[in-house]
Structure 1
Amino acid sequence: MELRKVWGNRPLIIVCVGVLIQDEIGRILLQRRGDDGLWGEPGGALDPGEDFLTAARRELLEETGLVCPDLHLLPIAEGLQGGPEFFSIYPNGHEVYIVGMRAQGTLAASALDHAAPDDSGETLELRWFALDDLPPISKNVNRLSLSLLRGRVGLPPLPLEPTPPAPPTGNHLGDLRKLVGHRPLHAPGSNVLVTDKQGRLLLLRHGGTGKWTVPGGSLEPGETFEACARRELFEETGLSAATLEPLEMLCGPDYRFTYLHGDVVDNVSVLYRAQGVSGELIPQEGEVLEVGWFGVDELPPDEELSGALIRDNLRIWKRGQSV
């Protein structure tokens, strides 16, 4: 809401988590929303520095008063959210593109007898629904989550609301910075692991930090995480990948990063492994100072890497090399 004071109704990328709770017979817990009176899954936006599972537990408690002991994040192939179909206009006129993850858990049907939503007005009613007998559903983000569950039991997907074309690629994060200064902002984006025929990893020395990183960057409104990975890989290196395999979503307080000029970001990043790489390696002028190929035992020390996010990207790569 603070951003809206300076940004207006224009599209913002909002990092969110959806919470899918089912009972012992597979019914889904839905809330009737206070903003539009329609039904959807519990969930909401991450607070600064928050990880997805912590946010899922918090949102579930706030919106239902319930605690789910087995709540967990879905695997990235099912849990990842983002793209043009995740566009929404709220009743107050605010436009958003939702990106993030889904969490799932189970509760006994009787748990609803003890539900106690907070007094924010976000939840008007809570009920269990069979997946083949759903009420009017609010927004595509909820329709897509329910279609995921329906697909598991052989039901067709729910129809989606029409969405406008995604805005042209620009510099969304940079445009926000001009209005809000150095304050922490979520920076959803993608990073890419690229290896050569000798199995060495491609690293780039970044012009803004002087540190080593992997190809990657920030998401634009309406862009999928994979499309972001492809775009950033090509922009920074001139390379293209036949396929990009999502490995892990990295998010939380460990991944806050402060740039030399003072900007603070909370990284929310999907790490991809590139396969079938082609093209000529041409470093992006100004953005990339140097490129290098590194074996497992040749990687730069941690202090020469661009923060915890990149250190964990490399640890994930090394782990894969040892399997």
Structure 2
Amino acid sequence: MSALMELRKVWGHRPLISVGVGLLIQDERGRVLLQRRGDDGLWGTPGGALEPGEDFLTGARRELLEETGLVCPDLSLLPVAEGLISGPESWHRYPNGDEIYLLGMRAHGTLSAAALDGARPDDSGETLELAWFALDALPELSANINRAKMSLLRARVGLPPLPLEPTPPAPPVGNFLRELRRFVGSRPLFAPGANVLVTDAENRLLLLRHGDTGLWTLPGGSLEPGESFEQTAARELREETGLMANRLEPLEMFAGPDYRFTSPNGDVVDYVSVLYRAHGVGGVLTLQAGEVLGAAWFGVDELPADDELSGELIRANLRHWKEGQSTQP
């Protein structure tokens, strides 16, 4: 049984966050591979939820094999600006009443049309049928998340986007992970969220001292149901620092086994985190009481040692920033 189904035992039909990957497979004519789903009989792309500790590309290859029996040699994740899945349009209610916010990444690959002759989906019942469809002759699609994926491909060939179905208002921002912990204890949970690079006029990077660990971290935090990654980045930046950005540029997605973190209280999370760069930052630096013990600005050669940073995710975020500085003219 999947980790998500285990959560359903204690959470019921209420909205959950599912971290997963959607696959956009096209043939030599530009047609897209769709599966007719076993739950609602409608069409969508192959894909599904990650398992704890799994990265997106590994999950994409696994889901493609399970749902189609196919292997796509050139399968790769889309650039983060195109590949992100999140936001209110990612809400879906399954026929059994389960509500979910799907988020994660999209992967793209190509196969010959003839490859479908060798398709052998597994016996789970998720895939009733597989077929190629032209982007201007799509069947009835299951859920907004599939409409959004098709609109991405349609835009590439000059076709208009598909209309989205209405979605319910997002739940009030609270502390989704903390509430979930009441039911599941310290077991590994996905922690989707965002961190933000904020620099000053001297190109020094803003770091915060974490209230629980005393270690240095970036402004950022966990995504709440119904939020996009960008909305999370903006909210956490404002809450933790009092600052606001005119624009948040997505730089990179960080996910996989390297980014598992154990809190001082024993809670285990697998981070699924988008790193943003803040542009046009304004406001007065005002630290969030309790959450943040202090703040400082660091030049690229002045960053704290690795053991002073709050885990591998933050270390990887800072390496990304440093590498970006080295490539600038």
* TM-score of the pair, normalised by structure 1: 0.99
Choose from 205, 215, 218 the match for 1:214. 218
1:18 equivalenced with 2:49 (yes/no):
no
What does residue 286 of structure 2 align with? 282
Report deviation, 1:152: 0.8
Is 1:237 paired with 2:241?
Answer: yes
The aligned residue for residue 9 of structure 2 is 5
Please state whether the residue corresponding to 2:85 is helix, strand or coil: coil
Deviation per CA, 1:272-317, whole angstroms, max 9, x where unpaired? 0011111111111100111111111111100110111000110011
Q: Distance in 1 between matches of 2:165 and 2:300?
A: 47
CA distance in 2, matches of 1:313, 1:189: 13
Say which is worse superposed, 156-165 or 89-98, in terms of deviation. 156-165
* Superimposed CA distance per residue, residues 221-274 of structure 1 (whole angstroms, 9 cap, x where no aligned partner): 000111100000010011111111100000000000000100000000000001
2:264 pairs, out of 240, 260, 265, with: 260
- AA aligned to 2:214 is G
Letter of the 1:123 counterpart: T
In the other structure, the counterpart of 2:156 is: 152
**Which of 113, 128, 132 is the matching residue for 2:132?**
128
Q: How many percent of aligned residue pairs carry the same amino acid?
A: 75
Alignment-mate amino acid for residue 178 of structure 1: R
Q: Does 1:81 align with 2:85?
A: yes
Q: What's the C-alpha RMSD, in Å, of the aligned pairs?
A: 0.6
Q: Give the SS at the match of 1:37.
A: coil
Q: How far apart, CA to CA, are the structure 1 residues paired with 2:20 and 2:32?
A: 19
* Amino acid across the alignment from 1:128: W
1 CA distance for matches of 2:169 and 2:159?
Answer: 28
Residue 107 of structure 2 is matched in structure 1 by: 103
Deviation at 1:77, TM superposition (A): 1.3
Matched letter for residue 88 of structure 1: H
- The equivalent residue for 1:270 is 274
Task: Output the CA distance in 2 between the equivalents of 1:78 and 1:201.
Answer: 26
Match of 1:312 in 2: 316
- 1:167 Cα offset (Å): 0.9
Q: Which of 48, 52, 58 does residue 48 from structure 1 map onto?
A: 52
Measure the CA separation in 2 of the matches of 1:49 and 1:210: 26
1:249 aligns with 253
Q: Which residue does 1:39 correspond to in 2?
A: 43
User: In the TM superposition, what whole-angstrom CA distance separates every residue of 1:167-200 from its partner, at most 9, and x where no partner exists?
Assistant: 1111111100111110000000000001111111
Tell me the equivalent position of 2:63. Answer: 59
Deviation at 1:5, TM superposition (A): 1.1
Q: Secondary structure at the match of 2:63?
A: helix
Q: Distance in 2 between matches of 1:131 and 1:280?
A: 48
Partner in structure 2 of residue 137 of structure 1: 141
CA–CA distance in structure 1, aligned partners of residues 81 and 196 of structure 2: 17
User: Who is 1:169 aligned against?
Assistant: 173
SS of 1:50's equivalent in the other structure is coil
Partners of 1:306 and 1:81 lie apart in 2 by 26
Q: Secondary structure at the match of 1:296?
A: coil
Among 120, 128, 131, the alignment partner of 1:116 is 120
For structure 1, the 5+ residue unaligned runs are none
| Residue type of the alignment partner of 2:225 | P
Deviating above 4 A after TM superposition, structure 1's stretches of 4 or more consecutive aligned residues are none
Secondary structure of the corresponding residue to residue 281 of structure 1: coil
Secondary structure of 2:115's aligned partner: helix
SS of 1:160's partner is: coil
Deviation at 1:62, TM superposition (A): 0.1
Alpha-carbon separation, structure 2, partners of 1:105 and 1:178: 40
Matched, 1:189 2:193: yes
Deviation at 1:158, TM superposition (A): 1.3
CA shift for structure 1 position 104: 0.3
User: What is the CA–CA distance in structure 1 between the aligned matches of 2:45 and 2:19, rounded to whole Å?
Assistant: 16
Query: Tell me, what secondary structure is at the counterpart of 1:191?
Result: strand
Counterpart of 1:77, as a letter, is: A
Per the TM alignment, residue 319 of structure 1 is displaced from its structure 2 partner at its CA by 1.0
User: Hey, what's the Cα distance between the residues in 1 that align with 2:160 and 2:201?
Assistant: 43
